[in-house]
Structure 1
Amino acid sequence: MVQREKIILLILVLIGFSLVLNGQEQTAKNIGPVVNSKYSDFGPFVSADGKSLYFTSDRPGGVGGQDGWVSHKVAGQWGEPVNMGAPFNTQMNEGPDCLTVDEQTMYFTGCDRPDGLGMCDIYVATKEGDKWGEPKNLGKPINTKYGEYNASISADGKTLYFVSNRPGGLGGYDIWYSIKQEDGSWGEPKNIGPTINTPENEIFVFIHWDGVTLYFSSDGHGGFGNADVFQSRLTPSGWSPPINLGPAVNSTEKEFYFTIPASGDLAYFSATQSDTQGQEDIYVVPIPAILKPKGLTLVYGIVANKDTCAEPTIDPVLKTPVYDIKTCKPVEAVIRLSKSATDEEILLGKTAPDGSYKVIIQAGADYNLNAYAKGFSFHSERFVVPAEQAYQEVEKNILLTPLGVGKVIILHNVYFDFDKAVLRPESKAELNNLIRQMNENPGMKIEIQGHTDSKGSDEYNIRLSRARAKAVLDYLVLQGNISPDRLTAVGYGESMPIASNDLDEGRQLNRRVEFRIISLK
């Protein structure tokens, strides 16, 4: 205990020193009367992009006792909160614990419900259009006859953290976690262990979007008040010793329900402090640099039908078509994130009805982002994020091509060794996409087309492009068991450019493999 207190003290000194260097006092501020009321406003959860703030309140205008509310940020200001409505809210007490990155799935605590197993249970609800669908009790083994509260889902949707007073813990309330199984069910919960849990109470948990930074409230680790907010990071050897977030967040009162957007720059939490307008208020505070989570990349955009877009303009430099996504009809699609080298699935989700999607990519990752929809060819984009990349947001709109005879689809992530027709390992995910598509459409026959840029002789480029197309054909036959009768391979050399060959970027686009649909019968 003495050693841990020394570590905490050192960190707090470093925090204070960093604030002095910044030349300003970074203290928690009440989020203000637009969001907070004279009633209880607590349990904030901020969306990954930092533009939506969900919270619990017993203010008038709700459905029952404590209801879920949401405020959206417009032009840098939080708007008037809106009740989340039935069936999410009931005559009982509800609190929106957390949402997935795309804000299409929500986990929350529901108390005293007819289908509850204990006093309070964890539930899940999914968006149906612009409204929340009927909540479902997660059931056993997550919920018990005791109490389960304050769920937090990892960015990949595979680990659920929560608080419970079930037997087998170390104190009154402990933090537990469960891993999602291959069949979609939740595995037997495990206690997160004595580094985090104490003989007292750990009453709230939030796993950041980076998947390794944990924030929680505890009255068993010492600190400034009745319950302080702490941070711990997951390392190869387990969770690091908790760090008190210091006086910028913690006071002599109780601080809990701590949440941070993917950017890691601001934190929202609920507390009772000297300037609280009601019984509990929501506060916001800047996060010191030494306590910020790892940098993340938030990728967002719209998936749409390419054939419905208005006539594209032409990029004056690359000579490539540029589509206005606002003119295209959205497509509801499956979104899949996988490792480029192995095709190991990281995340499987879907777009909202308006075709929008959001995913988080970790720093240091090399991922493929794939979109699939019935009646369309697949589309993939590769993201290679440096390990030291700071937080960034990347807009990537995806245009899907409807399946049809004569349609030509580029295989965006097929790679070869330099000047050779040897497929590189990171081509596996893209070619597996094509194998899946051909298995789903057993009557499909395609012409695999190889293309080069304008460097080299015509004869050389024809030979290289033909060999590369043949390498793709061989992969489909040998690895995907696709009948050779459904495949042909043709090399077109430099004769069919899709961009200017005057620039390196244009030549890179011209060096490609694509396929043309010959038959769908």
Structure 2
Amino acid sequence: MSSIIRASFFSLICIINITNAISQDKTRRLPSNINRPSINLYAPFISGDGQTLLYLSDYTDDGHHGMRWATKKTVSTWNDGLEVNKLINRPTLNYRGGYSLNFDGSVMLFTSRKSGLGGFDLWSSNRRGNDWEAPGNLGSPVNSSENEGAGMMSPDGEYLYFMRCEKMSEYGGASGCRLMVSKKTYNGWDTPKELPANINTGNSQTPRILADGETLIFASDQFGGKGGLDLYMTTKAGETWSDPIPLDFINTDKNDQFISIPAKGRYLFADVQGDRDRELVQILIPDEFQPKKVMRIQGTVTDAATGEPLDANLTVFNVGNRDRLWNEKVGRKGEFAIVLKEGSVYDVAIDMDDPTYLYFSKVYDFTEEVGVRDKENLQVKLSKIAPGATYNPDVVFEEYSSEISDNSTFELRRMAEVLRKNPNMKIEILVAQNNFKKDSVQSDPDLTEIQYDTVITKVRRSLITEQLKEDVEEDSLENEETDWVNEDFDEDTQDMADAGYEVVEEQKIKKTYHNDRTKAQAGAVKAYLVGRGVNESRIQVSTLRKERTESDSQEPGMADIKVEVKILNL
């Protein structure tokens, strides 16, 4: 490729130019099978799960900058990059760097001026194995007679952020841009809305919505800054966005634009000038700019008997503030995706309008740590209610207590709702304990319960005859009595009396400390349901316990409690 073309690209494409001021211990160079010698790489985009990478390379047959992609091989290595097929990879038609991936890398969005609604449009392609399918135009109302580009979906796939510009060029230049957002509906994407004026000040470009769904990074040359397009960050709270702040750890006097950040949020992907060529690197993000860590949960809902997808209801609550985050239909395909942020406890439930189905539920506690796993796949199979069927509701109790945890209140409401919708249903609540422990002393904090037993102790004492009383000083009498506790109990009581002994039975109270709270816990569950309007005659309770074995997973002394509901009849 000629030096003229390379110089033209350097002058026109908006790229990150990180200077040597960034210390090497804060920068990780991608491996050599990606950063190959004598090849320039630009504008990396990493999927939210960190497993798929899109980028530009000047290693092409026609001398243009072509799109390539690679997938993660191990924690620190990548498979060799592949060229994106020619159905998508059209350098003379595509807006350079105007591409993105959804969270799991299964969908690519890109910007092209090939036949569409006018100017540049947003296009999408689904991944199929090691290739990409023929792209489709996103259509109206996202695309218009203006220029749309640089689209990116939110991690849950519910929102689409993009820029709409007065002018755009396939060489990467754009002007008069404003940021837009559209919400997904059953019929496609809703009418886009402009982001507020504190973000759209005349030329805002390349939106990057991060995995927490509330942090947005974009480029603009309308805030002063260091020169050219600088990067800015804003966060969403409710329906408002904070005033943007510059990412001065990355901004330079050149155009700074094409970066991306995976869900783990510690490193930013960018391109920098290496010793000879442009290279792809990861740059450590300062603590003050790091987004919240998240877990993305995606899955399907099917009928347990037929395997057919179900149009179920998805509900997600923030347990701490009782805020409902999701309350929507899964859709006819039975597919869903949600993103949960660190710092809260979440109640996730899937149910049907049809009252003859049971529900699915799970509690996610992210108050301490999230990010060890950044995604989870759920295959939810909903069953019809039938006599004899059992299920395990997500009911937990406070530590060392029979008090129901606040995290379980949504679950118990669902149980009560099922009973109200099926007025003839009767159930049995079984509380089973797999780590029963007892001791004569309160040897660990889990031994909160006390069992009181009456113990009969037999005591034999020597009898003092009348003659003996005359011969012995009265002050020595109290020393004559002798007790033998728990001795010779097999002797006949009458024989002992005939031999001159008095047999006395004494009652003592014995305490045994233990951790069996199953009866009280089962009673607490029943009481809650009765309090929600369920007749107590419809609820039976039972308990089961066994002592801890070496194979039990719980820590010693901690009661392993499981609640099971059995449907007795309908």
Instruction: Give yes or no for TM over 0.5.
Output: yes
What is the identity, as a one-letter code, of the residue corresponding to 1:46?
I
Describe how 1:420-499 pairs up with structure 2 within 5 A. Answer: 424=406, 426-428=408-410, 431-432=413-414, 447-451=427-431, 453=433, 455=449, 461-462=518-519, 465-466=522-523, 468-469=525-526, 471-472=528-529, 475=532, 488-495=538-545
Unmatched runs of 5 consecutive residues or more in structure 2: 1-20, 168-173, 437-448, 452-513
Question: Shift in Å at residue 189 of structure 1?
Answer: 2.8
Please give the secondary structure, in 1, of the residue aligned with 2:72: strand
Please give the secondary structure, in 1, of the residue aligned with 2:143: coil
Question: Shift in Å at residue 300 of structure 1?
Answer: 6.9
What is the identity, as a one-letter code, of the residue corresponding to 1:410?
N
1:516 is aligned to 566
C-alpha distance 103-450 of structure 1, shift in aligned 2 (>3 A): farther
1:325 is aligned to none
C-alpha distance 436-27 of structure 1, shift in aligned 2 (>3 A): same
Question: Shift in Å at residue 408 of structure 1?
Answer: 2.6
Cα distance per residue 1:457-476 (max 9 Å; x no partner): 7998547525623643774x
The answer on 1:204 being equivalent to 2:228 is no
C-alpha distance 186-69 of structure 1, shift in aligned 2 (>3 A): same
Aligned 8 A contact 1:297 1:392 in 2: no
Question: Shift in Å at residue 77 of structure 1?
Answer: 1.8
The answer on 1:245 being equivalent to 2:248 is yes
C-alpha distance 431-406 of structure 1, shift in aligned 2 (>3 A): same
What is the identity, as a one-letter code, of the residue corresponding to 1:465?
A
Question: Shift in Å at residue 293 of structure 1?
Answer: 1.6
Cα distance per residue 1:237-285 (max 9 Å; x no partner): 6323431434xx44454332210112222211246x46564xxx55324
C-alpha distance 443-39 of structure 1, shift in aligned 2 (>3 A): farther
Q: Distance in 1 between matches of 2:314 and 2:548?
A: 27
Q: Distance in 2 between matches of 1:463 and 1:291?
A: 47
Q: If you compute each CA radius of gyration, which structure gives the higher value, 1 or 2?
A: 2
Aligned 8 A contact 2:402 2:520 in 1: no
What is the identity, as a one-letter code, of the residue corresponding to 2:44?
P
Question: Shift in Å at residue 450 of structure 1?
Answer: 3.8
Question: Shift in Å at residue 165 of structure 1?
Answer: 1.3
Aligned 8 A contact 1:153 1:161 in 2: yes
1:363 is aligned to 342
2:390 is aligned to 408
Work out the number of aligned pairs and report it. Answer: 451
TM-score normalised by structure 2 residue count = 0.60
Describe how 1:278-289 pairs up with structure 2 within 5 A. Answer: 281=278, 283-289=280-286
TM-score normalised by structure 1 residue count = 0.65
Q: Distance in 2 between matches of 1:254 and 1:185?
A: 34
Identity percentage of aligned residues:
18
Unmatched runs of 5 consecutive residues or more in structure 1: 1-15, 308-329, 479-483
What is the identity, as a one-letter code, of the residue corresponding to 2:373?
E
C-alpha distance 495-414 of structure 1, shift in aligned 2 (>3 A): closer
2:317 is aligned to 339
Aligned 8 A contact 2:430 2:544 in 1: no
When the two chains are superposed, the root-mean-square deviation of aligned CA atoms in Å is: 5.4
C-alpha distance 239-433 of structure 1, shift in aligned 2 (>3 A): farther
Please give the secondary structure, in 1, of the residue aligned with 2:392: strand
Q: Distance in 1 between matches of 2:28 and 2:77?
A: 17
Q: Distance in 1 between matches of 2:153 and 2:60?
A: 30
What is the identity, as a one-letter code, of the residue corresponding to 2:566?
R
What is the identity, as a one-letter code, of the residue corresponding to 2:194?
N
Question: Shift in Å at residue 148 of structure 1?
Answer: 0.8
Aligned 8 A contact 1:155 1:209 in 2: yes
Question: Shift in Å at residue 338 of structure 1?
Answer: 1.4
C-alpha distance 90-401 of structure 1, shift in aligned 2 (>3 A): same
Aligned 8 A contact 1:217 1:229 in 2: yes
Q: Distance in 2 between matches of 1:488 and 1:505?
A: 36
1:267 is aligned to 268
Describe how 1:1-400 pairs up with structure 2 within 5 A. Answer: 26=26, 32=32, 34=34, 41-56=41-56, 60=60, 66-67=66-67, 69-83=69-83, 85=85, 93=94, 97-104=99-106, 106=107, 108-114=109-115, 116-126=116-126, 135-165=135-165, 172-180=175-183, 183=186, 185-199=188-202, 201-224=203-226, 226-234=228-236, 238-246=241-249, 249-270=250-271, 273=273, 275=275, 277=277, 281=278, 283-298=280-295, 338-341=316-319, 342=322, 344-346=324-326, 360-370=339-349, 378-386=359-367, 391-393=371-373
C-alpha distance 443-102 of structure 1, shift in aligned 2 (>3 A): farther
Please give the secondary structure, in 1, of the residue aligned with 2:259: strand
Cα distance per residue 1:334-380 (max 9 Å; x no partner): 99571243472449899xx9xx9986421222213457899996543
Please give the secondary structure, in 2, of the residue aligned with 1:492: strand
Please give the secondary structure, in 2, of the residue aligned with 1:465: helix
